[in-house]
């Protein structure tokens, strides 16, 4: 089977972490099913957005686009990236001019067919732009496509017009042979906009890489948080909760990974709360550093206000770590009493109480059992088997 993958987000030189799980999942699937070939379509996702409202930045990006070159890059024996640079003209409100991106994807599709033979199925990740592009390619080449939605919050506000999804998103969903949501929470959110979901199939990670090795010797009881440093990720609430909990348990340490627009403000908040000496701001982390920090922490913690799935929560569970999480949607599919403590969104006092409670009762959380149960339900072998069955069922019906 030859699969053409269109990810809406993908790592770039500017943003090496953005959409990394799309790349990782393609490689994991390909490693599990050597008989299948995967072609990943790249056009410089996000690199060459020309915003007419910011002319100086637009000129710089236009020059970079002009100098960009096409290439093909092999990631494994049966998975390759095909890169054709494309420019996107916005304002974003109208979802942009997609002609350049569509042409780039058609070019990548044809190169993939030349390398692997006829493409059997297209798999788009996120309804826009990938889902809309997939609909156009499927129509042009008469092949089926799968659409997996990851967007959160769903939908982004600029993809709404008079309370309804933009026509391009409607087309992406309506013409797909299967629509997949990565969590039950996202499925319910999509239904509010009349999107019918055929399957719930979670994101998956390399559970061999994210392993529950013995915790290294680290001073104090360590909470680790990772994500974009922004208010919607609840970083301000997390800092307030830690300040409360730390007064009761001075051995607590909070490590925060990630960067974002609110980072300087949040660092200032930690200083005002008097907890700066007990917080480590780790900045942007590569995947090896993420694994190391997960293995060295005692508990992973997230105060997010909204998550469609929660890849890093899955990574933490694969490392056998208990979780403190807000009831923010997607992670709740993975969390239960034996592996987590859940708290209301925005409640610093409840989160502080959970931090104190989990430190006192940490011996009640069995790291081996946490990892084993999570992998049985959300591990790469389980999830890729479900995904491949979707592909095969479409081809049987076609």
Q: Tens digits of per-residue pLDDT, 152-181?
A: 999 999 899 999 999 999 999 999 999 999
3-state secondary structure of 339: coil
Radius of gyration of the chain (CA): 22
Pick the more confident residue, 231 or 147.
Answer: 147
Give mean pLDDT, residues 326-343.
Answer: 97
Measured CA to CA, the distance from residue 32 to residue 356 in angstroms comes to 41
pLDDT at 217: 60
In sequence order, what are the residues at sequence separation of 6 or more whose Cβ sits closer than 8 angstroms to the Cβ of residue 158?
92, 93, 95
Instruction: Tell me how many degrees the CA angle 288-291-295 measures, rounded to the nearest 5.
Output: 140
Out of 16-20, 226-230, 279-283, 346-350, pick the least confident.
16-20
Banded model confidence at residue 93, pLDDT cuts 50, 70, 90: very low
Reported as a pLDDT band with limits 50, 70 and 90, residue 388 is very high
Indicate if the pLDDT at residue 288 is higher than 50. Answer: yes
Tell me what the mean pLDDT of segment 278-294 comes to: 94
User: What is residue 266's predicted lDDT score, i.e. its pLDDT?
Assistant: 95
Q: Do 221-377 and 2-204+379-397 have the same topology in CATH?
A: yes
Mean pLDDT of 75-99: 80
Residues 6 or more apart from 96 whose CB is under 8 A from it?
Answer: 49, 88, 89, 90, 129
- Average pLDDT along the chain: 93
> Out of 77-91, 289-303, 306-320, which region has the weakest mean confidence (pLDDT)?
77-91
Query: Residue 14 — very low, low, confident or very high, per pLDDT cuts 50/70/90?
Result: confident
Domain boundaries along the sequence of the chain:
2-204+379-397, 221-377
Euclidean distance between CA atoms 70 and 89, whole angstroms: 20
Kindly state the average pLDDT of the residues 79-99: 77
Candidate ranges 58-72, 83-97, 210-224, 279-293; pick with highest mean pLDDT: 279-293
Residue 96 pLDDT: 59
> In the prediction, which pLDDT does 94 show?
46
Q: Kindly state the percentage of the chain with pLDDT values over 90.
A: 83
How does pLDDT run across 25-80, given as a tens digit for each residue? 999 999 999 999 999 999 999 888 877 777 788 888 888 888 889 999 999 999 99
pLDDT for 63: 84
d(CA 162, CA 168) in angstroms, rounded, equals 15
Which is the CATH superfamily of the domain at 221-377? Glycogen Phosphorylase B; (3.40.50.2000)
Task: Please give the class, per CATH, of domain 2-204+379-397.
Answer: alpha beta
Q: How many helices (H) and strands (E) does the chain have?
A: 13, 18
Q: Is the pLDDT of residue 90 over 90?
A: no
Contact 131, 106 (CB under 8 A): no
pLDDT in the model for residue 95: 52
**Nearest one of 248, 220, 250 to 357, comparing CA atoms:** 248
List the beta strands (DSSP E) in the chain.
Answer: 2-7, 37-42, 49-51, 71-76, 79-83, 88-90, 121-125, 145-149, 160-161, 164-165, 178-181, 199-200, 221-226, 252-257, 279-283, 299-302, 323-326, 340-343
Q: Is the peptide bond before 129 cis (omega within 30 degrees of 0)?
A: yes
* 216 pLDDT above the threshold of 80: no
Provide the pLDDT for residue 64.
Answer: 86
Distance CA 97, CA 76 (A): 33
Please check the confidence at residue 98 and state whether its pLDDT lies above 90.
no
Between 331 and 67, the higher pLDDT residue? 331
Q: Is the pLDDT of residue 392 over 70?
A: yes
228-241 per-residue burial string, b: 16 or more CB within 10 A, e: under 16: bbbebbbbbbbbbb
Nearest CA among 49, 50, 1 for reference residue 29: 1
Mean pLDDT, residues 225-243: 95
């Amino acid at each position: 089977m030859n699969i053409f993958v269109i990810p809406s987000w993908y790592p770039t030189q500017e943003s090496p972490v953005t959409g990394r799980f799309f790349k990782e999942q393609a490689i994991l699937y390909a490693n599990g099913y050597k008989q299948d070939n995967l072609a990943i379509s790249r056009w410089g996702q996000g690199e060459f957005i020309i915003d007419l409202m910011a002319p100086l930045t637009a000129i710089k990006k236009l020059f970079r686009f002009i100098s960009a070159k096409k290439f093909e890059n092999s990631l494994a024996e049966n998975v390759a990236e095909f890169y054709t640079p494309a420019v996107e003209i916005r304002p974003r409100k109208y979802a942009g001019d997609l002609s350049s991106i569509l042409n780039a994807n058609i070019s990548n599709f044809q190169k993939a067919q030349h390398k692997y033979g006829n493409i059997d199925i297209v798999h788009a990740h996120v309804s826009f732009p990938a889902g809309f592009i997939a609909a156009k390619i499927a129509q042009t080449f008469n092949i089926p496509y799968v659409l997996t939605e990851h967007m959160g919050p769903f939908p982004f506000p600029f993809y709404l017009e008079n309370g309804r999804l933009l026509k391009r998103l409607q087309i992406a969903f309506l013409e797909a042979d299967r629509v997949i949501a990565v969590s039950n929470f996202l499925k319910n959110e999509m239904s509010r906009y009349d999107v019918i979901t055929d399957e719930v199939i979670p994101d998956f990670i390399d559970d061999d890489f994210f392993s529950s090795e013995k915790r290294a010797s680290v001073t104090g009881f360590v909470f680790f948080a990772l994500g974009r440093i922004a208010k919607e990720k609840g970083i301000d609430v997390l800092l307030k909760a830690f300040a409360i909990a730390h007064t009761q348990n001075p051995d607590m340490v909070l490590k925060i990974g990630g960067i974002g627009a609110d980072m300087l403000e949040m660092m200032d908040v930690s200083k005002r709360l008097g907890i700066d000496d007990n917080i480590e701001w780790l900045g942007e982390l590569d995947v090896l550093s993420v694994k190391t920090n997960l293995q060295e922490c005692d508990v992973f913690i997230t105060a997010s206000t909204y998550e469609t799935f929660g890849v890093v929560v899955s990574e933490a569970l694969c490392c056998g770590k208990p979780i403190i999480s807000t009831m923010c949607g997607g992670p709740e599919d993975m969390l239960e009493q034996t592996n987590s403590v859940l708290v209301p969104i925005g409640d610093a006092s409840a989160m502080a109480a959970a931090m104190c409670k989990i430190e006192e009762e940490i011996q009640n959380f069995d790291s081996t059992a946490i990892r084993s149960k999570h992998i049985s339900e959300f591990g790469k072998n389980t999830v890729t088997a479900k995904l491949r069955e979707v592909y095969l069922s479409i081809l049987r019906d076609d």
